[in-house]
A and B are shown apart, each in its own frame.
Chain A
Amino acid sequence: MERSWQRWLIRFGVFIVMAIICVPGLWIVMTAFRDNVEVMARPPVWIPERWTLDNFRAILGLSENQQGIPVVRYFLNSVVISVTSTVLAVLIGMMGGYAFARYRFKGKNVAFLWLMLSRTVPGISLSLPVFMIWSRVGLIDTDFGVILVYLALNIPFTIWLIDGFFRQIPLSLSEAAQVDGCTRWQAFWKIEFPLAKSGIASAGIFAFLTSWNEFALASQLTRTTASKTLPVGLMDFTAQFTVDWTGMCAMAVIIIVPALILTFIVQKHLIAGLTFGGVKG
């Protein structure tokens, strides 16, 4: 008797936790498909009575009576900036991770520490000097300027994760391949790379999420549609006196969906990446 009572208590506890995690997000999604009248309604309307795509039409500039925010442009900027900085960060992270995992060299620990410390600099503190320098050399409001900064943000964590994964692969495997006539380069691509693929994938996802979601730096380094990303675009809605709740929620959905899809595809690697890359050093 006591056992089943305990089991239900645990299930109830888990249910509460899941509700707290899910309800805020669901509320945003529901508002995105709601009529603006419903948002203000008294008494409140919990589940939308009429699901509508009007909010998306409005912010995409497809309806006539409302001025759109250049969401498509922001979306494209976000994609270009995130994908480029992720691909480059993973490449550079693989090189760095391999160096830390496979070689002994002078100052290795110091180099690693400085790498990590460079990541801890708060975005807003870094943005001040970067803003001053970028505006002198003409990198303000360019995709390239933002990509460069995100690359520097992502490299330390990418190296950390990939280093952990390379270390798990026994050195004897690639040595055996080299005895059999492979060069170290071939051994890397034929042995070590395939084995570390899941770790590299998870490093890539973290890099992508960081770039896709970053706000503090992007909000200062971008000015116009030339390079503004989605998170910065979200602030367009609050500049006015009244907040356009349904429009903001629609934009929120547009920001979250790509991240959601990508994360669910590789979710298995994500946890492995976080725990094994970190613990078994």
Chain B
Amino acid sequence: MRFFRSRLSPPILLLMPAFVIIALVVAVPLLFSLYTSFTGYRLVQPASLWQWVGLRNYQRLLTDVDFWWAFGRTVLFLTVALNLELVLGLGIALLIDKLTAGQRVIRTIMMFPMMFSPILVGFQFKYIFNDNVGLVNNAIQSLGWENVTIPWLVNPITANLAILMAEVWMSTPIFAILLLAGLMAMPRDPIEAAKVDGCNPWQVFRHITLPYLMPFVYIAMAIRSLDVARAYDMVKIMTNGGPAGRTELLWTLIARTGYQDARMGMANAMSYASILLSVYFTVYFFRKLAAARRTMGGVE
């Protein structure tokens, strides 16, 4: 092929389309939004795009209580959700690994939530937690408390729990499936040897199974970290940040500031906070994954 003989080296040519598209859709727009974050741009006043305000947007963010609440809530939400998903996913994987039959069917069922659109998961839980027609309140009333109507999505605490539950419902199966794949690929000899040497089940798990599973944990985390912001879809449809901003995450606040209030400059400044947050999560897990791969490579 002439293609391989041209002056540019083959890998550059092969990667060209990928980088051109990413430059067009991600890199250039992000540079533009970086510029915009230094202006007082409002959607309704096109001329304000050229109104340079320096660091004013960022200065305001530093003292903006709503922003810091949303930021803190987002970090807390991600930390709790990711840890919960990992622990539950590990538990489910260990449980299914012990099963003697039907593993394949169950693995297939577990893929179910992966196919759901986040907006659908949000809708699903919005419906289930609805105070009038929801499944949860129906069940409570059928169990005998006929006058109890819990306003799940109206009370700030239960609303946050409902969103957390939607997030965990959606992502735990990915952890479970990946960790189960790890458990199934695991050699049995070291476990047998440890048992012969008198290790109890906890010691076997702690010192043999868990270290072996770590690369799988980091893969799951790395894949997951690429898409942490999809909680936006769920919150958007479930509570839209309410009641009174108590379920507002960074991402819903950005959408509200940018599109509803039309304060694009400010929204872009917030965007950069959210991008840094995502980059931090991704870099952290990809480095862990790379380290785990190296240790695995050393063993093999």
Which chain A residues have a beta carbon within 8 Å of chain B's beta carbons? 7, 10-11, 13-14, 17-18, 20-25, 27-28, 31, 39-40, 43-44, 92-93, 95-96, 98-100, 103, 105, 108, 111, 113, 115-126, 128-130, 132-133, 148-149, 151-152, 155-157, 159, 183-185, 209, 212-216, 220, 231, 234-235, 238, 245, 248-249, 252, 255-256, 259-260, 263-264, 267, 270-271, 274-275, 278-279, 281
Give A72 Cβ to nearest chain B Cβ, in Å.
18
Q: Does B80 contact A (CB under 8 A)?
A: no
Taken residue by residue from 246 to 273, chain B's Cβ proximity to chain A (1 for < 8 Å, 0 otherwise) reads as: 0000011011001100001001100110
A183 to B1, CA, bound (A): 8
Complex: chain B residue closest to A23, CB-CB: B135
Q: Does B110 contact A (CB under 8 A)?
A: yes
Across the interface, do A121 and B275 meet the contact criterion of CB distance under 8 Å? yes
Across the interface, do A118 and B216 meet the contact criterion of CB distance under 8 Å? no
A selection of 22 A-B contacts at a CB cut-off of 8 Å is A7-B100, A21-B109, A93-B18, A120-B225, A122-B274, A123-B232, A132-B32, A132-B264, A148-B21, A155-B18, A156-B22, A183-B1, A213-B117, A215-B233, A216-B230, A231-B120, A235-B237, A245-B130, A252-B123, A255-B120, A256-B115, A267-B111
Give B97 Cβ to nearest chain A Cβ, in Å.
10
Number of A-B contacts (CB under 8 A): 264
Q: Does B128 contact A (CB under 8 A)?
A: yes
A216 to B133, CA, bound (A): 27
Across the interface, do B108 and A267 meet the contact criterion of CB distance under 8 Å? yes
A11 to B98, CA, bound (A): 9
Classify chain B: how many residues form its interface, as a range: 35 or more
- Within 8 Å by CB of B96, from A14, A117, A120, A235, lies A14
Across the interface, do B142 and A43 meet the contact criterion of CB distance under 8 Å? yes
Which chain B residues have a beta carbon within 8 Å of chain A's beta carbons? 1, 3-4, 9-12, 14-15, 17-19, 21-22, 24-30, 32-33, 36, 92, 95-96, 98-100, 106-120, 123-125, 127-128, 130, 132-133, 135, 138, 141-142, 169, 173, 177-178, 181-182, 185, 215-216, 219, 222-223, 225-226, 228-230, 232-233, 236-237, 251-252, 254-255, 258-259, 264, 267-268, 271-272, 274-275, 278-279, 281-283, 286, 289, 293, 296
